[in-house]
Amino acid sequence: MRSTNIDVRFKKPHSGFSTIELLVALSLFAVVSVAAIQFVSQNKISLLQGRNELTTQQKNEAIAAFIYDDFRRDQLSDTLQSPVYINSTMPQDLQDAPPLVVGTVFGNGSRYNGTVPKCKLSSDAIIRFSTFSIEKNCKDAAGHNIAENINAILSRGGKIAFALEGGGGRCTVSLPIQNASSSNPSLRVFVEDATCLTQAANQSLPVKAGQQIIFPRYVAYSRDNPGSFYTSMIEPIDKSAPGLTIEMPAIFTSISSVLTALKDIGVYALDTAAQLSLEINTSHPTNRLRFSSIPSGMTITGDNSSNVMFQGSPTQVASLLSNLQYQSDNGFFGDDILTLNARAGIISRTASSTIKVTANCGGVANGTATRFDLGRYNASSKTFEVREFVTTVSVWSNLYPQDYYGYCGPLKNQPKQYVRFDRTDGVPSYYQYIKEQGDPFPCTRPHAADANLPGKYINYSPKNRDEVPDSVTVFLHEQHNLNTVDRFSLFFVFDDNDKTGGKAYFNLNNIEPNRDLTSFADKFTFADDPHEYRPSTIHSSGKLRITPGWDKSHDGVVLPLRLPSNGKRNGTYELEFYNQDPDGDGDVNPRLEMLLTDNITKWNIRAVNDSGIGVSYRQFTIRDKPDIQLRISESQRCPTP
């Protein structure tokens, strides 16, 4: 103890607090003490409130567990009213706690129509505006469409979280859906964060139209404070669901119009008692799928069409798939995409294969097959509207195009001099004809009795072959049967040498620019009646207008399909390598558009027969399909013998 020191200090005079200073100090101490007591008291209240909130949260989660059990057992009912959840089996403290309400969003029932999702994006999501479109009636629950169900929950302060198939995260509806009760079939949904509208694989791109919207079936939330607690119920994670896999080859092969078996396609489920739903389709609607036999008890929707649907057990499905056949439309060749969608319970799978359809050349060897499209070119959309198509197979002759065309007639401004292209070297033959001297006439007159015989050199006309009256004859020509030679030309012959004449106006597009069609020096092209070509040189844009006219004789033009200098690949020239696009519009298909004619009524095209056996000239009406294009990049070499 140091009490003596204390006594000394009190007895020794020194400076210190005045009475007023002591009173002020005591007052300040009192204030601080009160503040400290208030601080402790306030913290105690906060701690008590936090404990109460934690207790409420725990009770909410406990109640939600009972709701989930009912959900798992399919005991929740669809309703628009979001009723308070009541369950007499819950402990009394949960029954006495602030309640949760259950709101219906998607409700009970399948998410699919067959294998197609009911609720899906009706157009691409719009990231910029945080919105997407949905079909209002994609799902009805409790007598109301899904938009009305969503709005009912939002109006009570609840929230709705969902996902987009292939999307980049969870979405939350941010605003009530406008016009939910209107007749408008498509409605807009806005979300809080646009990130969920982006593709998971590439967040710069929106989720595409047709992707499934995975809405919760039900939501549960606090009645008194909806923002404090809510949970979504999408699918019971412990509900029994069969595993589902699809196996199919990456590539099938087929020949145009030939029935082909598609083997080695399998759909497998772990649960052998599962009910499978399948949809199979082709990307080209004119191609067909069919089954050689159908197991007893199964029904096929769309058999022998481009889209087939069916249901059955795994055993039935396996039996049916073993009988799947494919047949492309006559004239179609190229790539077709086969897509298979399968569903078992809540699980869905999709797989696809490429069917590579080779051209049917009708038994012709050493030729080139090309698809001719007949229809109308739409200048506004810059698309060709196909109304019919056929497979043409080229003619090869070992002759230059000028010689194969075989024009015969007088030289311009030299009535006593005739020219006839009848040599194999591409050089024209010149004949003098003076009637008074008895010179032989080098051409057959159109009105002669034998003028229609094949091989005749007709005056003012090409050599007579397979033309028919009132038509445009079209065929591809190959100068040589070896594909190491740049050898292609396109022939158009107008009408034939009957007793009627005619005229027409045509536009040509995507042809080789800067070629003079009237030059005898160019062995790969020819223009009958040069005065009908003004100008006679193809424009730098690859376009030309021609105005042929004819009397008893017929008329025509030969267009070069010469590949550019870089067109040779692996030492060969093939028509599919042709890429003349001088106007830069991305379209390389040569095209003829008929603007006006007085008597032409049909196309006369060298094409494969409907039976797929043999090639002949076939006629097609021109009334609703006045234009023709070559699908040149899809051309295929016919098999060699």
b/e burial code for range 492-530 (CB count within 10 A of at least 16 → b): bbbbbbbeebbbbebbbbbbbbebbbbebebbbbbbbbe
Q: What percent of the chain has pLDDT over 70?
A: 90
Q: How confident is the model at residue 239, as a pLDDT?
A: 54
Residue 14 pLDDT exceeds 70:
no
Which of 54-58, 106-110, 131-135 is most confident? 131-135
The percentage of the chain sitting over the pLDDT mark of 90, rounded to a whole number, equals: 57
Domain with CATH 2.60.40 in the chain: 244-358
> What's the chain's average pLDDT?
86
3 state DSSP class of 372: strand
Query: Residue 589: is it exposed, middle or buried by C-beta count within 10 angstroms (0-12/13-18/19+)?
Result: buried
Three-state SS string over 322-344 comes to: CCEEEECCCCCCEEEEEEEEEEE
- Measured distance CA(531)–CA(453) in Å, rounded: 28
Q: Does this model's pTM top 0.75?
A: no
Span 244-358 CATH architecture? Sandwich (2.60)
Say what the pLDDT of residue 142 is.
66
As a whole number, mean pLDDT of residues 293-308 equals 94
Residue with tokens 């906060």: 46
% helix, strand, coil for the chain, step of 5: 15, 35, 50
Burial of 325-343, coded b for 16+ CB within 10 Å and e otherwise, reads: ebbbbbbbbbebebebbbb
Position 297, amino acid: G
Question: What's the pLDDT at 377?
Answer: 95
Residue 39 has pLDDT above 60, yes or no: no
Q: Show the tokens assigned to 55.
A: 């207790």
Q: Among the listed ranges 53-62, 247-256, 319-328, 429-438, which one has the minimum average pLDDT value? A: 53-62
Cα 80 to Cα 164, 169, 347: the distances in Å are 24, 28, 28
Give the model's pLDDT for residue 4.
40
**Which pLDDT does position 294 carry in this prediction?**
93
344 DSSP β-pair partners: 276, 347
How does pLDDT run across 83-131, given as a tens digit for each residue?
999 999 999 999 999 999 999 999 887 787 767 788 999 999 999 999 9
In this structure, are residues 300 and 223 in contact, taking their beta carbons and an 8 Å threshold?
Answer: no
Tell me what the mean pLDDT of segment 455-480 comes to: 91
Inform me whether the pLDDT recorded for 166 exceeds 80. Answer: yes
User: CB of 59 within 8 A of CB of 35?
Assistant: no
Closest CA to 517 of 483, 486, 548, 474: 548
| Residues 141 and 252 sit within 8 Å (Cβ to Cβ) | no
Tell me: pLDDT of 418 over 80. yes
Predicted pLDDT at 238? 57
